[in-house]
Chains A and B, each alone.
Chain A
Amino acid sequence: MSSKLFDPTIIGTADQALDFIGNVLESSTAYSIIGQDLDGKILLWNEGAHRLYGYEPDEVVGRANTSILHVPEDVRVGKHEQIRADALRDGKWEGVVSRLRKDGSRFTASVVVTPRRDSTGLPIGYLLISKDITAEVRLTAQLKAAQFYARSLIEVSLDPLVTISAEGKITDVNEASVQATGVPRGKLIGTDFSDYFTEPDKARAGYEQVFRLGVVRDYPLELRHREGRVMSVLYNASVYRDERGKIAGVFAAARDVTERKQAERITAARLRLREVAAASDLEGVLQATVNEAELSTGSAIGYYHFLQADQRTLSLQASSTRTGDGFSTTQAGGLHYDIDQVGIWADCVRQRQPVVRNDYATLPSHQGMPAGQTKVLRELVVPVFRGEQIVALLGVGNKATDYDEKDVQAVSLLADLGWDIAESKRASEELQRSERSLREAQRLALIGNWELDLVRDALTWSDEIYRIFEIDPTEFGASYEAFLAAIHPDDRESVNRAYTDSVRDRTPYSIRHRLRMKDGRIKYVQERCETFYDAEGRPQRSIGTVQDVTDRQHAEDALRLANAYNRSLIEASLDPLVTIGPDGKIMDVNTATESATDHTRAELIGTDFSDYFTEPAKARAGYEQVFREGTVRDYPLELRHRDGSVMSVLYNASVFKNERGEVSGVFAAARDITARKRTEAEILRLNSSLEQRVRERTSELEAVNRELESFAYSVSHDLRAPLRSIDGFGRILLRDETAALSAQGRANLERIRAATQRMATLIDDLLQLSRTVRSEFRRTSIDLAAMARAIAGELDAVDPARRVTWRIASALPVHADPALMRLVLENLLGNAWKFTGRKAEAEIEFTGTEHHDEKVFCVRDNGAGFDMAYANKLFGAFQRLHSAEEFPGTGIGLATVQRIVHRHGGRVWAESAVGVGTCFYFTLPKGELGT
């Protein structure tokens, strides 16, 4: 072929030169080159034109007008004539137009039309060069779509994202940044990044560090909303570069950690309160609680009220230190209100839930607010529940901004905690009081004594006895009758019998009984007596003591009551409580311990404490530590229930002492933290699943990058080849046909060569663009059948002349990414359409079936098919089994299909036979949880 083209003997005369050009034009296959006269009549039709438009030279040369190459709607508006006129006027027309093949199919072509002139410069016709650029046009559209997609991902990110210039100015932001600052995008861009933080210097230092080091992780800052709210964030930031590799700025992504910070603050507050509880009284604990609530919400005032069991009477127990300053005329702990007197402030009792009033000042009824003189602007009041009862209220007010849900949570937690600490504080104060009264009772020791001479029947009383009996010794002598008369009538019989029995049985006795005074008062006395006998066994005399134990009796009664009360508190405690002896045996338990272990008190007492834990050795080490150090706090153990379930607990334990101050055992209180543990585990799980998602995202991005690499590689290879042809043949023309070409012709050829260089540059630019594209993944419920019908409709519309019978299932619901699945179907149906192009009766089918845990889909055609020997190359990017002259295409479609199906957790394969047709299968996992 080439030897004929360039045989130098051909080039001799001008006619021969013309012939030669004709030969060149005719044999060029990559480009359609068509000669026409001034009216568009076709005079020259090369091989490229034949291949592109489908007409044989015989069919058109001298017979047809170039208008047959235009689509009918262009012909109607005279576009072909307009193009010729423009080419004549400007020396050239070039552009992109829709073209029509002989078979009626359409394509997009890049077209250059130049006028031909005779030797006198008069126009005699046109040369029309065209090329099918459908594939390039589609490629550009795909790149645009990908870029749009990447931007939309940035916009939907929940993390505030921002880019910063070297001068510290904001150059781009996403919607989350707008939300976080409350400043519109247009106003953010161009301003100083550091202006939006509570610590601008720290923000500046942050991005300067990124410019210096290239990357910064977990940089803590506080982002300020226009309305004053503050969001605690951690920044991850890195520099990004322009296409020349120069640092263009900093890309920074903030992660909202406000809630985490809040949780940390609450934990710290809890620890502080526990310390306060150890060192101060009830009111001190409550005041500390209110202070913490104030601090954690940024409030200016705060109160803690108890609500009596009647659910009506409020008593102010403590106000915060700051509130106290403006509140000195009243005193905490003394004020009582009825709930009806306090107006909206006690709404939280009436509504039995936390109440937020961010518009307090404008509300009509706010009398009775305990703030007194302080003007309230906003308030937040939360109830503390114990069972069905509200037991306390914690209120804070006058935060600089509106109270929100986070404040409600924080204050509720603190109010609850304050109540728990106050409650245990109160219980221990009661216990101390009863112990004191016991000691006082022990100090009482008023004892009188008497002696009865049974031989002489003479009774003598000591002075103490007269005092105890309140008898004047001057007016009334001592006698057994007088003694009996002083005894409470109900006790006389038993006292008399005790004495007579004692004399008869010769055993001493001790009895406690009542005395009734003349004025009706009752006294208690402890009486002890012993009788002595002679050698014959006759009773001689009785000696006894009488001790006034009235005060002790009262004290003991009081103590019994107090103990019963303490005991009831201990029993009412939801925390499993236990006392342990020095030998490690359980001495006492409360009801909560019984239900935590499902062992009765009787079963538990006397057994080893350590037996009831998953780690007995650790339990033993725990109480031994208490005996050694006096106390242990938050000692973690796992309490085992009889049924095998386990409760995670933290023990607070301390030694308790007897009256003599000797250590008699350990008192240990367990706090069930199973729920808290579960929450912590949940947080851990969420964190790790977040990391998992980040890893998945990263690997997806890496996969996309690899695909782009492969794509870019092939683009650089395939798009360059035609350019080389254009340049090469143009150059050959110039070299070999200089004489035959007019000056205009040579200039045109130079233009073509210049254009090829431009195209080469464009390709490089496109590659650059493609490297910036990223892709994401979102599943929804979609119907693949409906999607397939829509695509079939589009294909039919593109080429109405083709006769294709579609068979598409009525409905094929799946859970998948709609945009990506559309790409899959467009490629598979588009391929079926393309490879059935030469069939008179084309048939394309799309069906689905279910097998086990996956859905299997099939796109079947009766087209050209391929040799199964090459089936393994089918899904590689830019792999083609047909030459471009047979069927056009880039070879990227099936690689795309495979990538998308794999990302959905499915498989894809094909079955085919040459001349019979092809069937593409792909699967998607069933259910919503496919990965």
Chain B
Amino acid sequence: MSRSLEDRNEGEVSTRPWGRVVFWVLLSALGLASPGGAQVLTEPVQPAASRAVSEADVIRFLEQATFGPAASEVSRVKEAGFAAWLDQQFDSRVSSYPVPALFPADQNAGCPSGSDANCLRDHYTMYPLQVAFFLNGLRGEDQLRQRVALALHEIFVVSGVKLRQPAIMAPYQNLLLDQAFGNYRTLLENITLNPSMGAYLDMVNNDAPIPPANVSPNENYAREILQLFSIGVNMLNPDGTVQTDSQGEPVPAYTQDTIKAFAHVFTGFTYATLPGAKARKHNPPNFQQPMALYRDASGRDSNHDKGAKRLLSYPGAVHATLAAHQDGNTDLTQALDNIFHHPNVGPFIGKQLIQHLVTSNPTPAYVARVTKAFENNGSGVRGDLRAVISAILLDSEARGRAKSSPGYGRLREPVLFITNLCRAFNASSDGLLANQAASMGQNIMNSPTVFNYYPHEYEVPDTDLEGPEFGILTSTTAQARINFVNTLAFSKIGAAASDSGTALDLSGLSALAGNPSALVAELDRVLLHGTMPAAMTRSILDAVNAVPATNPLRRAQTALYLVASSPQYQVAR
């Protein structure tokens, strides 16, 4: 009947273990706990691909792995099975972002008076990338890649709020698309040396301290690569739960001194020298190539700190200290290896990928299985993201009966809420959907900070559950989501009279309107994979029957509005 409380207790030791245990005891004492409570509602682990796939599970799978289950994609997965579909997607060609030319930092110089009317929009806002984001999401054949890249975009965050130009943002987003199925170690290095990240978190032109000037190396990238991009602030168990000491306090994964040491590692790098230019300590911007270690005329990396550095310490640590006088590139390689081999990386990154793709509150056992895939892809390779993604999507907790547990699922984030509805009803679209997402609290490409559009550890009030996307569900955005459905169902996004905009194809639903039960059943099948409660069906039928049968489109719109605006749909499970 329900996922066990005991199970939940383990699942969230990472945040508040004791109250919950106490509570379980209390409930048991009151006789309120389910006798079957200790039973975990997942099926025995078996290769999902070997089982016959139900349409309902195919639709669920595509909600997790794509920008929304389109009918054509549902057929493909039914035919191929999950694992073979994943293999096809791993080899898919990338639908990438356009990379416009770099404009001057001063927009008055880049778009002087008399410029094209769209000059500012196209060169100093994220507009071109926002359009490409939605078009790739709606139509790209590389659906899994786009979806995983979105998750990476929300873990390894850079933002147009600071970078401002699409010319600066686009190469970084293309990097995430290109490496979505690569190795985490490669991804970490490429992100570190990417000039967009360099500009966003200030690693570019970070100087070694040169006495007597009293300045310290910039700590910004050093802190966030550890806190957000790799291991997090506390030591984790392989199942993602926080390690505690004898006092019950979390064990910190590093100290301020560790941050300082990494800040010293990340000194001496600047933009790649432009063709024909002379290398300088602080080169002019170049967002096309990775940052590089500055070398003076004699070949010395004279802006890199040469002291010894004490990095992360953990059992079996790789390069826990860096020797003095090493070359800057050696320091960087060894420092990234030091991070990469930290035992936190698997559970820290793995759990977040599960939360982005499948469910906000995975059981510790699920996280542990994904950690295992991170640590070894089956061929002895650590950090293989293909293996991690397969492990996440084919896990018994993603595919099995766990979906019925009371804490299962995730609130659809605004951009996916939009694209899922569009793809379900074969929408025509010009990709101008960013304002809709922004009104729901997600201004895509413009994350307010490096902590993403919403905090990854947000706890849903009045529950003991994490629900990251609830961090942007306010009284305003909750209604904006319903208003979006209203516009999409009854009209279209964009000017009603023009050919552009985004409009659903409701012909299939309208054809069913003569039989309201069939109409609602179809919506249940397509949007809720058959989970609509009877009371909800009755309410929708009441509303549909209040529309004259002579107006089949209005009936279809009414039914769609009520299903798509319902929390039963907005929380995907």
- Are A and B physically bound partners? no
